[in-house]
Structure 1
């Protein structure tokens, strides 16, 4: 009898070792860095390629590993129970087998291999990718059947799942990683904002970053050329919209370089310059265009300037390539640019801002976190929160700051004073 026990002991420990491999594979493959695996695969690492294949269908991979692990654990427990009940007859043998296998499985088949896999996820995942891929192929049909039963069962309770399911959206996974590394001090605040800006492009419309039509510098196309030149020299921009009859009727874009070239070709005789011949066709885009699509359109058409219109074709503003890039890298300033216009810091830590200042510009300048979804401008945010047009002198506290209306022209809030973040105030 004891000879049988000794003979089967290596078998039991062999099964526990196989179970440990399954446990390590499950933990390592779910915790492996997808970014590093893709990079290694591009460099020719075949093991990383296998890891990527397994991760691409994570549900099937986990199902195959769990199925194999459970089969091995049950078999090991059954063999142990059979052996010990022969040595220790009755319920005591079953109890002894249960206690011994619980300790062995917990320590050597679960905690130990999973701890190692957590510490060296990428290396363990690459090392175990080949046997795991074999297991997925062997148990694949059975796993699909199990998945079908699970989905049917969950469907009875109103939970609808497709046969393929992405556990984490890629953007949210990247954003979470950036936030985590920033909290650990491994990513600087500026880099964090830049990475976040890239991820935000597809979630923002051009209406959120455009220059509002009230702030557009435009010029009447019927003005004498000498006056056009004076207007161009005063402007901070090289491209200026041209209108005829009324500012809503945009007929083209005047580029400073085209104007100077035309004057040069006319030997300085401005009377020979025709604005209609040098103006460029305006590019109109809907205000619902997201920034990612517009950035691609700018690059594709080699045009850095577009006019934004609403669904009725009415002019809403203009957007440039620089406006979109500033959402990623922050304010781009040259020798003609100022800091954020309409913003002035006060000695007590508060800021005086014009109502037309964009919330995102204020956040970047002050490193604040005011929401920019409800409204584009600071004045719009105050009106949204107050649900009314406040009077001069009225003050409100929301999103952790105190907002006081300083100036108002008719129904427009033109100036506000905003406090630094208040201690103990709600920021949401």
Structure 2
């Protein structure tokens, strides 16, 4: 070793430090790769991604190979530094050389390459994969022996090397990925994706038309009343019931009902109620508590568009339509909530009057608020739950940061509130 020129020793030490930086940086780059982006690029045929994915399929082997190389070059660098120190300053320089080498390795072979790799993992991981794949084949016996011992130790602790692989993203994790996608996914598309994920968290009673607002046809009414009910209907399929909604006979298509009316003399009370029974479709019932995503699938399987929501006792609770479910996904085709939602009205002074029968989910979607949906389903219920009493007219409150003024209320419920956005000076 004394015959080797110092210049060669210094050059060799520099090469070893570069190799140490390569092993450290490539390890960080490979381990911080986005696995889903990696899989996509591999499926697109990108060679570097294919090799990197092959290495990451067995991370124990990859880590064993990297640490084998990194420790080898670091130990060899330490030996060279000791030789150089002995030749330059004797035994007294060994401690100084060790301290200086530690600092150099820390800065140039650890922190710098690892930081660079964390910022640009693909730029480093893919080229490194071209080196690691043949190197793994060359050193496989040594790597396999190391893995056999380490996997045995992990097995004693109840850990399997493959146990952490193949885990899918949870719904909340996927939601976070969509939100953080930024400009890569348009805002409208992000909103739709998030809405689809949120379908599993909501149930049919949160978006259904409640019983007291459902329009239907009562066979106990007079022919003129039945005709008037059909004429003022706001939706296509109407429930046909006998006496009350708990005795539903079926669903009638308003257009078909109009044909029946025309046949019997429109508006003259000439209507045979048996004709309405004959054209009624079999009712499609939806159990209360069904999640929206499952109900969307159920509508598709049953080829239905309207369902009657019933509770565990079979009592009618409300009506849900396929259009309601689709609105949960695509939202409203307007940016002004006062234009899209009949329960929200804009006044001349710019404030909004909100009907408190509106559901929390609909209000959140319309106003882009973040009111809790796990408790009361309507704004009236949320206000009463928050105040723990039915407030009087004129009461003002700040509900989760949103200023509301009670405009109309009675002894049983809050009817209308005013919302005026706070302005900051």
Q: Distance in 1 between matches of 2:289 and 2:110?
A: 52
Check the 8 A contact 1:213/1:316 in 2, yes or no.
yes
Judged with a 3 Å threshold, the aligned counterparts in structure 2 of structure 1 residues 95 and 172 are, in CA distance, closer, same or farther, namely: farther
Partner of 1:144: 151
Partner of 1:157: none
Residue correspondence of structure 1 range 23-422 to structure 2 within 5 A: 23-52=24-53, 60=60, 63-64=63-64, 67-68=67-68, 71-72=71-72, 74-84=74-84, 86-87=86-87, 88-107=89-108, 109-129=109-129, 131=131, 138=143, 140-145=147-152, 147-148=154-155, 163-164=163-164, 169-180=169-180, 182=182, 189-221=187-219, 228=226, 230-259=228-257, 271=272, 274-331=275-332, 339-421=340-422
Q: CA deviation at 1:229?
A: 5.2
Q: CA deviation at 1:288?
A: 2.3
Check the 8 A contact 1:77/1:101 in 2, yes or no.
no
Report SS of the residue matched to 1:397.
strand
Report SS of the residue matched to 1:3.
coil
Q: Distance in 1 between matches of 2:58 and 2:198?
A: 27
Q: Distance in 2 between matches of 1:53 and 1:262?
A: 69
Check the 8 A contact 1:253/1:280 in 2, yes or no.
yes
Check the 8 A contact 1:23/1:69 in 2, yes or no.
no
User: Which deviations, in whole Å up to 9, do the C-alpha atoms of 1:122-142 show, x marking residues without a partner?
Assistant: 343333345556759846545
User: Which deviations, in whole Å up to 9, do the C-alpha atoms of 1:89-113 show, x marking residues without a partner?
Assistant: 4352133133124314521x23443
Judged with a 3 Å threshold, the aligned counterparts in structure 2 of structure 1 residues 168 and 348 are, in CA distance, closer, same or farther, namely: farther
Q: Distance in 2 between matches of 1:240 and 1:112?
A: 70
User: Which deviations, in whole Å up to 9, do the C-alpha atoms of 1:370-390 show, x marking residues without a partner?
Assistant: 333332211111112112222
Q: Distance in 1 between matches of 2:420 and 2:55?
A: 52
User: Which deviations, in whole Å up to 9, do the C-alpha atoms of 1:34-86 show, x marking residues without a partner?
Assistant: 4433332332335434444566777x588547644652454244433442354
Q: Distance in 1 between matches of 2:289 and 2:355?
A: 26
Q: Distance in 2 between matches of 1:340 and 1:120?
A: 47
Question: Which stretch has the larger CA shift, 143-152 or 200-209?
Answer: 143-152
Report SS of the residue matched to 2:318.
strand
Q: Distance in 1 between matches of 2:128 and 2:341?
A: 55
User: Which deviations, in whole Å up to 9, do the C-alpha atoms of 1:171-196 show, x marking residues without a partner?
Assistant: 444433444455xx776654443332
User: Which deviations, in whole Å up to 9, do the C-alpha atoms of 1:240-270 show, x marking residues without a partner?
Assistant: 2222232122232222355457779999996
Check the 8 A contact 1:262/1:278 in 2, yes or no.
no
Question: Which stretch has the larger CA shift, 252-261 or 231-240?
Answer: 252-261
Gaps of 5+ in 1: 153-160
Question: Which stretch has the larger CA shift, 207-216 or 69-78?
Answer: 69-78
Q: Distance in 1 between matches of 2:178 and 2:168?
A: 15
State the TM-score, normalizing by the size of structure 2.
Answer: 0.78
Gaps of 5+ in 2: none
Judged with a 3 Å threshold, the aligned counterparts in structure 2 of structure 1 residues 391 and 144 are, in CA distance, closer, same or farther, namely: farther
Q: Distance in 2 between matches of 1:166 and 1:350?
A: 52
Q: Distance in 2 between matches of 1:381 and 1:89?
A: 81
Report SS of the residue matched to 2:22.
helix
Partner of 1:156: none
Question: Which stretch has the larger CA shift, 168-177 or 248-257?
Answer: 168-177
Report SS of the residue matched to 1:248.
helix
Q: Distance in 2 between matches of 1:311 and 1:65?
A: 61
Judged with a 3 Å threshold, the aligned counterparts in structure 2 of structure 1 residues 104 and 261 are, in CA distance, closer, same or farther, namely: same
Q: CA deviation at 1:164?
A: 2.6
User: Which deviations, in whole Å up to 9, do the C-alpha atoms of 1:244-300 show, x marking residues without a partner?
Assistant: 232122232222355457779999996496333332222222332222222222233
Q: Distance in 1 between matches of 2:397 and 2:37?
A: 48
CA RMSD of the aligned region, Å?
4.0
State the TM-score, normalizing by the size of structure 1.
Answer: 0.78
Question: Which stretch has the larger CA shift, 141-150 or 314-323?
Answer: 141-150
Judged with a 3 Å threshold, the aligned counterparts in structure 2 of structure 1 residues 392 and 29 are, in CA distance, closer, same or farther, namely: same
